[in-house]
């Protein structure tokens, strides 16, 4: 690496033009709808193409996404349209290096405006070939992270597929190792669930089998970017209920010892700020990437002696359950979950032997996912260390 010599001082308006997005309805189209937290759904129309998407309001203020094809940008995001002579992937990494979240205004409702973005001062690499070399290095890291994410998504899909096969379709292995229902296993109609279930399975409400414990309250001064104990919070949940490493905050305030949790605990989201109650009631098992953690008051831990955490994780993230539980959330800007909604939910209770088999199948998957998450975290730390030095000209890449 050597000192760069082709940088000039400027501002973002020299590289891109900014425009606020607009609201639209989801439909059966294949064009992605972007908000500040990424893809929200799909539609059949577009309002931009080959752009960057910047989170404009709320928790995802300052987030950056890139979309080289047609897309729709919603009203909680800003579209960054590249100037004809600018390289959009270079623009993407430049925005990533600026920590745009720190540029926002407002406290109760953080906001990033076009005016703020236009006037951000930056150093601009003028040589397009050097821009491409910078992008090449950073993309290599991001593509490895993306590949790891695909592997984890496949592992998650394996656990979900088996859950659906055994506990929804009831094709668990019978005494001969054949799929129970498909092989003629006896089914009986249950009037509570209004469907047939395997003979001998009981039906009960979750109330008798779950214990909840809410996380701790906190002040903004208790939260930091990297000092203190890992703090599982609402931003730790992806839209599909999986754990997001990027959403982890760190708690430096006071807490009681019994507020500490170990990795492997099951947690659910009990508040939500998404428009469609996407996260409320979703769950994940805390991966083995920390020693001890705290959880926020927006989250609750779930324990059960009868139902293991792997079964419950899939249940809480299932479509039928989530379509039921979201109606027990109330509020305007912030949704709050009434836990009675979970307690009143009825399920067919699988035999303990079948639950044990499912746990045996899922435990190694959790271990693999945790290792991949830890590797991704290390890759992101290296990328984030390298990123600002490449983008501000402290170092450059040799030919």
Tell me the per-residue pLDDT of 202-218, one tens digit each, with 9 for 90 and over: 999 999 999 999 999 99
Lowest-confidence segment of 20-29, 105-114, 376-385 by average pLDDT: 105-114
pLDDT tops 60 at residue 111: yes
d(C-alpha 216, C-alpha 100), whole Å: 29
Phi and psi torsions of 190, nearest 5°: -115, 125
Helix (H, G, I), strand (E, B) or coil at 361: helix
Of 338, 332, 337, 336, the C-alpha closest to 109 is 332
Helix (H, G, I), strand (E, B) or coil at 260: coil
Q: Which position has the higher pLDDT, 346 or 3?
A: 346
The pLDDT score that the predictor gives to residue 225 is 65
Q: What percent of the chain is predicted at pLDDT more than 90?
A: 72
The pLDDT score that the predictor gives to residue 102 is 86
Q: What is the pLDDT of residues 261-284, one digit of tens each?
A: 999 999 999 998 877 888 999 999
Interacting residues of 206 by C-beta distance below 8 A, sequence separation 6+: 342, 343, 344, 345, 346, 347
pLDDT tops 50 at residue 3: no
Q: Is 287 left (phi over 0), alpha (psi -120 to 50) or beta?
A: beta
The pLDDT score that the predictor gives to residue 1 is 46
Taking the C-alpha atoms of 238, 244, 246 and 252 in order, what is their torsion angle to the nearest 10 degrees?
Answer: 110
Helical (H) or strand (E) element with 341: helix 340-343
Length of the chain counted residue by residue: 399
| Mean pLDDT of the chain, nearest integer | 91
Helical (H) or strand (E) element with 367: helix 352-391
d(C-alpha 358, C-alpha 163), whole Å: 8
The pLDDT score that the predictor gives to residue 127 is 84
Mean pLDDT within 293-308: 95
For residue 197, what are its two tokens? 């279930």
Q: Which position has the higher pLDDT, 332 or 376?
A: 376
Of 168, 161, 154, 191, the C-alpha closest to 320 is 168
Of 157, 160, 295, the C-alpha closest to 230 is 295
Q: What is the pLDDT of residues 68-84, one digit of tens each?
A: 999 999 999 999 999 88
For residue 269, what are its two tokens? 């989201």
Please give the span between the terminal C-alpha atoms of the chain, in angstroms, as a whole number. 9
């Amino acid at each position: 690496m050597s000192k760069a010599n082709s940088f000039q001082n400027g501002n973002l308006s020299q590289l891109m033009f900014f425009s606020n997005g607009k609201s639209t309805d989801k439909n059966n189209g294949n064009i992605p709808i972007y908000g500040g937290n990424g893809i929200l759904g799909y539609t059949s129309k577009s309002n931009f193409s080959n752009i960057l998407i910047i989170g404009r309001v709320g928790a995802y203020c300052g987030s950056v996404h890139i979309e080289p094809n047609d897309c729709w940008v919603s009203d909680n995001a800003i579209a960054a349209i590249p100037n004809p002579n600018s390289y959009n992937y270079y623009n993407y990494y430049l925005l990533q290096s600026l920590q745009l979240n720190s540029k926002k205004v407002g406290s109760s409702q953080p906001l990033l405006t076009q005016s703020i973005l236009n006037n951000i001062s930056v150093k601009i690499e003028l040589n397009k070939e050097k821009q491409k070399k910078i992008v090449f290095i950073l993309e290599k890291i991001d593509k490895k992270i993306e590949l790891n994410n695909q592997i984890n998504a496949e592992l998650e899909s394996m656990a979900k597929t088996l859950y659906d096969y055994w506990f929804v379709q009831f094709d668990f292995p019978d005494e001969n190792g054949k799929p129970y229902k498909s092989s003629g296993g006896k089914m009986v109609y249950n009037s509570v669930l209004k469907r047939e279930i395997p003979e001998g399975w009981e039906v009960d409400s979750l109330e008798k089998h779950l214990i909840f414990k809410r996380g701790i309250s906190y002040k903004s001064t208790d939260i930091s970017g990297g000092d203190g104990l890992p703090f599982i919070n609402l931003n730790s949940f992806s839209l599909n209920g999986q754990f997001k490493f990027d959403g982890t905050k760190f708690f430096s305030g006071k807490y009681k010892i019994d507020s500490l949790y170990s990795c492997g605990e099951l947690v659910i989201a009990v508040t939500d700020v998404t428009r469609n109650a996407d996260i409320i009631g979703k769950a994940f098992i805390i991966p083995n990437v920390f020693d001890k953690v705290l959880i926020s008051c927006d989250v609750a831990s779930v324990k059960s002696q009868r139902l293991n955490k792997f079964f419950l994780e899939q249940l809480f993230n299932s479509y039928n359950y989530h379509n039921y539980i979201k109606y027990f959330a109330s509020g305007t800007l912030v949704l709050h979950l009434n836990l009675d909604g979970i307690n009143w939910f009825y399920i067919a209770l699988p035999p303990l032997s079948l639950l044990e088999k499912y746990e045996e199948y899922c435990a190694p998957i959790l271990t693999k996912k945790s290792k991949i998450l830890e590797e991704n975290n290390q890759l992101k730390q290296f990328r984030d260390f390298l990123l600002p030095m490449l983008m501000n000209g402290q170092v450059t890449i040799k030919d």
